[in-house]
A and B are shown apart, each in its own frame.
Chain A
Amino acid sequence: MLEWALAFGFGALGLALAMNLWRLIKGPGVADRILALDTMVINVIGLIVLAGIAGGSGTSFEAALLLAMVGFVGTVAYAKFLLRGDIIE
């Protein structure tokens, strides 16, 4: 039963990533692209969590935490650069 649920989860997240990629390419604004990148990071964290459940090891969650932090810092850096013309003033 868990295998079927994991297969559904992988499929849903893959489809979600494809939709985010469509929004990333189409735009139309630069804020849309930042939002699409942020959502892609969140969906990839979900993929890592599901891979951790499927693999049966607890070691993949450090990667998930690291990706969450890097994704947040990246989003804020993009937004700060567009708002102020500089990242660290």
Chain B
Amino acid sequence: MSGAVSFPEILASALIVLGGCFALVGSWGLVRLPSLMERLHGPTKATTLGLGAMLVASVLWFQLGKGQWTTHELLVSVFLFVTAPISANMIAKVHLLRLRLGETSEPAGPAGMPDAPPGRAEWATYEAPHEGTPGDFVGD
């Protein structure tokens, strides 16, 4: 290895190391945190950010180091940043529904069970399709 290290190589290496650290922290949080609502934080924030750093490293390395312009990585990172909150929301809804049904042995989290909504209303996890929309069971 020669003494002169090019600037794009330094930049890409730093971003790759940063991304690896964030991915590791996210999975460590998945192992260590005590309840599912807390465990959701690690993968949805730290791991997504780490992957974003790696994708930026890839864009910079191919652009500055090799002169090839690629945008696939940006597409992947945009897709991940859009979909991570949606999957986290779906997993949290599954957790709430199973807590509500009493089918789980795990703790509810630091905030405990959320209050039931007033009246005959239910949480969104129970919500049936509205009347007149496809999938309602009025006619069954």
Task: State the A residues within 8 Å of B (CB).
Answer: 1-2, 4-6, 8-9, 11-13, 15-17, 19-20, 22-23, 28-32, 34-36, 38-39, 42-43, 45-46, 49-50, 52-53, 56, 58, 61-62, 64-65, 68-69, 72, 75-76, 79-80, 82-83, 89
- Whether the Cβ atoms of A9 and B27 lie closer than 8 Å is no
Please tell me which one of the listed residues A31, A42, A43 contacts residue B36 in the complex, with CB atoms under 8 A apart: A31
B10 within 8 A of A: yes
- Point out residues on B near A: beta carbons under 8 Å: 1, 5, 9-10, 12-14, 16-17, 19-21, 23-24, 26-28, 30-31, 36, 39-40, 42-43, 47-48, 50-51, 54-55, 57-58, 61-62, 66, 68, 70, 72-73, 75-76, 79-80, 83-84, 86-87, 90-95, 97-98, 104-106, 125, 129, 134-135
Q: What are the residues of chain B within 8 A of A52 when measuring CB–CB?
A: 58
Write the chain A residue with the least CB distance to B129: A89
What are the 7 closest A-B residue pairs judged by CB atoms, nearest first?
A12-B20, A5-B13, A79-B90, A16-B27, A61-B72, A39-B43, A9-B20
Residues of A within 8 A of B134 (CB): 89
Closest to B84 in A: A42
